[in-house]
Structure 1
């Protein structure tokens, strides 16, 4: 029920528009590293100082206008240059729909190729994020074509899809981020229960740790993290072959603790003002994430209007007052 509500909120255009306008008043700074490149680089430096690397996401997806897709591409290229010029430890994550996949496949590929080529000059990794089921195969097609020419690209395996095991076996020689999945998918394509998704998540992680190139384990679940730690010790897997990943603003103490214990750690760093849909899907993926953010906010004694029902209500009220 909660997942369906959060997914519904994530696609609400009125709330998305209001979130862009009132984001800082609603505590967006707690889940977004910055609204521009300069702020984002500052956030990356702070994380790097704690022994944490970053993957940077220019927020936005499901773009249907060429001008908007080109603007997103230019913004990503700007971030690549900024990462290089400032010498910070970071790479790029991006969604194909943000740079034109829903407009024209070839148009999207040319934009993506330009980004990957720019990053390749600096030996910088590009992670091709996966989206809803209808975009999964076209995204893999983009990846396969890129791999004919470039080696600095990897992708994501979503454990709620039945096809995930086949996909991870096919792409085992790539750097892969393994996630649970954050979109609402029909039973024809995806597991529906948390137990099924978690079980497949762990199975995929173990497979790639044993057989793959490099594994990014994206979870806030301490039980799964502890399981992975036990698994790699049992199988003598080098810490150089994997990293843990969490979202910016979530379980900060645990992020720092894992880095201090000598595990590779990477924080997913979103920036920009298009944060609302992103945040809703993080809560849809695991509603418990709401509690994690509330704890972070209240521990800092901020004046944030937090919580998704409360946040959605506040956004609606702010919008209504302007009418």
Structure 2
């Protein structure tokens, strides 16, 4: 992990900094990356994206709840997303973090909430992506996903992070166990120990291409989450070489990041999904975006001095 990224993530934990950004961040530029604080605002943004041929993943932001009431509120927010997608007719699925559903309180509580959400997804013929979180939650996340995948099949998928040493083994397990295993492949955005994750960017990049190729060749659906032209071009060449049809994979990018490239990929005939976060609890998500691309920090600073 780069020094700049480490610094940003460390500074983000400062109470003074976090207090300032939480108070003024949406006005200063966080709205570029977060589609509003309400579901209604987010749905309107999804409609605009759909009009340009982009499909969407909605994410009600939140993680690390501390009591059952908060966990149920987050669960209800997810149910509301699925109902709003159905009612509005927009082309969107959803993603979630299981820590927001009570994972740190108990596995049983989290499973109870996940089943409520996945029952709704199945009722509406939609899909729920479980985000992979920090390393401390990976083993329990894999355990719960295995249980839910057996119950809900095509209606549930998972995120896999390239920067972890264990990733290839996890993928082999998933690919060999399930007939239809839809995985979102990312590099990873958490601050992890070098005992469990590649500390150098070049190694993460190499492993990322490795798992993309591995999953594309497996016959399962691949969601390639990247803003990197090198990766995009590599995928284009790889699927052409191996005669992998376009309906077996999609590109994914974050809301507010490289919108012109997103639309260009649609024009070229590729499926392009935009990850659209919304909600009041946007600080953690936003700071990870800053850490990934420090130029985003200058965007915020510039807005601080605009009249």
Distance 1:250 1:75 in 2: 25
Q: Does 1:240 align with 2:243?
A: no
Counterpart of 2:257 in structure 1 is 250
Question: Do structure 1's residue 189 and structure 2's residue 196 form an aligned pair?
Answer: yes
Task: Compute the displacement of 1:19 (Å).
Answer: 3.3
Aligned pair partner of 1:169 in 161, 172, 178: 172
Confirm whether residue 116 of structure 1 aligns to residue 118 of structure 2: yes
Asked if the contact 1:20–1:273 (Cα under 8 Å) also holds between the matched residues in 2, the reply is no
Change (3 A) 1:17 1:74: farther
Count of equivalent residues: 297
Note closer, same or farther for the CA distance 1:65–1:14 as it changes in structure 2 (3 Å cut): farther
Give yes or no for contact 1:180–1:197 (8 Å, CA) kept in 2.
yes
Residue 208 of structure 2 corresponds to which residue in structure 1?
201
Q: Which residue does 2:88 correspond to in 1?
A: 86
Deviations 1:196-247 (A, max 9, x none): 0000000000000010410000011111111111111111110000000010
CA distance in 2, matches of 1:231, 1:50: 26
- The reply to whether residue 224 of structure 1 matches residue 228 of structure 2 is no
> Aligned partners of 1:17, 1:258: CA distance in 2, in Å?
38
Q: Give the CA deviation at 1:142.
A: 1.0
CA apart distance, 1:14: 4.5
SS state at 2:152 partner: coil
Distance change (3 Å), C-alpha of 1:10 and 1:77: farther
Name the counterpart of 1:300: none
- The structure-2 alpha-carbon separation of the partners of 1:165 and 1:271, relative to structure 1 and needing over 3 Å to count, comes to same
Correspondent of 1:275 among 282, 292, 297 = 282
For 2:183 and 2:226, the matched residues in 1 are separated by: 14
| Structure-2 separation of matches of 1:14 and 1:46 | 36
Determine the C-alpha separation between the residues in 1 that align with 2:167 and 2:41. Answer: 36
Q: Distance in 2 between matches of 1:255 and 1:193?
A: 28
Q: Which residue of 1 aligns with 2:157?
A: 154
TM-score for the superposition, normalised by structure 1: 0.88
Once the two structures are TM-superposed, the CA of residue 21 in structure 1 deviates from its matched residue by 3.0
For normalisation by structure 2, the TM-score amounts to 0.92
Larger mean Cα displacement after TM superposition, 93-102 or 2-11: 2-11
Query: Following the alignment from structure 1 to structure 2, what is the Cα–Cα distance between the partners of residues 196 and 243?
Result: 24
Q: Deviations for 1:60-81, whole angstroms, at most 9, x for unmatched residues?
A: 1112222211111111111110
Give the C-alpha shift of residue 26 in structure 1: 1.5
Query: 1:249 touches 1:293 (CA, 8 Å); kept in 2?
Result: no
Which string of whole-angstrom CA distances, capped at 9 and with x for unpartnered residues, describes residues 77-112 of structure 1?
Answer: 111100000010001100010111111111111011
Q: Deviations over 1:105-162 (max 9, x none)?
A: 1111101111111111111110000000010111111111112211110101100001
Provide the alpha-carbon RMSD of the alignment.
1.7
Q: CA deviation at 1:18?
A: 3.9
Q: In the superposition, relative to structure 1, how do residues 253 and 189 fare at CA in structure 2: closer, same or farther (>3 Å)?
A: same
